């Protein structure tokens, strides 16, 4: 699968391409819609390319997680009302694997990663099969673990990497091995 990447909210500081991308976030950036906090933000940084039908997208994510809600990972986006973001998010003094699914309103789920450090190579994968999206992660060279299976539109969309820092500016994130290709097998268990 080929596609041309483009920015949603291009950061002031970034370098690289889809093979190896580094960025620093702007002030108070996020993707969030209404739920719990009552606000909507659509100013996070996302480097996305078009995608149709079933696919798998993955990337290795590294970040200098220090402040509450620093986050970096993958995004699948139809528009400003329908999107998924997933990856590492720093909360309660710990790295968590985070998934936000937004269909008019955002939800949020987290899995604590007590053994992960800022040196850990966290791999993130999104797979769309028809109207469902499977979210997986792996730390360093461990096996893939499923974090979420969510209903989501099969409409044409955009997929790629994202980073946000709702509480500050200057969060540095790096993405390696960004890939988009055919969907992995539908089998959920080994």
In-domain check, residue 32: yes
Half-sphere exposure of 145 (CA within 13 A, CB side): 13
In-domain check, residue 10: no
The pLDDT tens digits for 126-149 are 999 999 999 999 998 889 999 999
Q: Is the pLDDT of residue 1 over 80?
A: no
What is the CATH classification number for the domain harbouring 103?
A: 2.60.120.200
Supply the pTM of this predicted model. 0.95
The pLDDT tens digits for 77-103 are 999 999 999 999 999 999 999 999 999
For residue 15, the SS3 value is strand
In-domain check, residue 2: no
In-domain check, residue 62: yes
């Amino acid at each position: 699968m080929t596609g041309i990447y483009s920015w949603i909210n291009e950061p002031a500081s970034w370098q690289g391409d889809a093979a190896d991308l580094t960025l620093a976030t702007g002030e108070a950036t996020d993707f969030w819609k209404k739920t719990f906090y009552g606000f909507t933000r659509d100013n996070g940084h996302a480097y996305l390319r078009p995608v149709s039908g079933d696919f798998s997208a993955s990337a290795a994510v590294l970040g200098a997680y220090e402040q509450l809600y620093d986050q970096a990972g993958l995004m699948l986006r139809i528009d400003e009302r329908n999107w998924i973001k997933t990856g590492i998010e720093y909360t309660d003094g710990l790295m968590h694997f985070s998934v936000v699914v937004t269909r008019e309103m955002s939800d949020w789920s987290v899995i604590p990663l007590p053994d992960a450090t800022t040196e850990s190579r966290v791999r993130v994968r999104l797979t769309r099969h028809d109207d469902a999206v499977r979210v997986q992660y792996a730390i360093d060279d461990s096996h893939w673990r499923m974090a979420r299976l969510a209903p989501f539109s099969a409409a044409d969309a955009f997929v790629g990497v994202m980073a946000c820092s709702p509480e500050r500016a200057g969060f540095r994130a790096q993405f390696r091995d960004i890939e988009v290709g055919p969907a992995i097998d539908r089998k959920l268990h080994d």
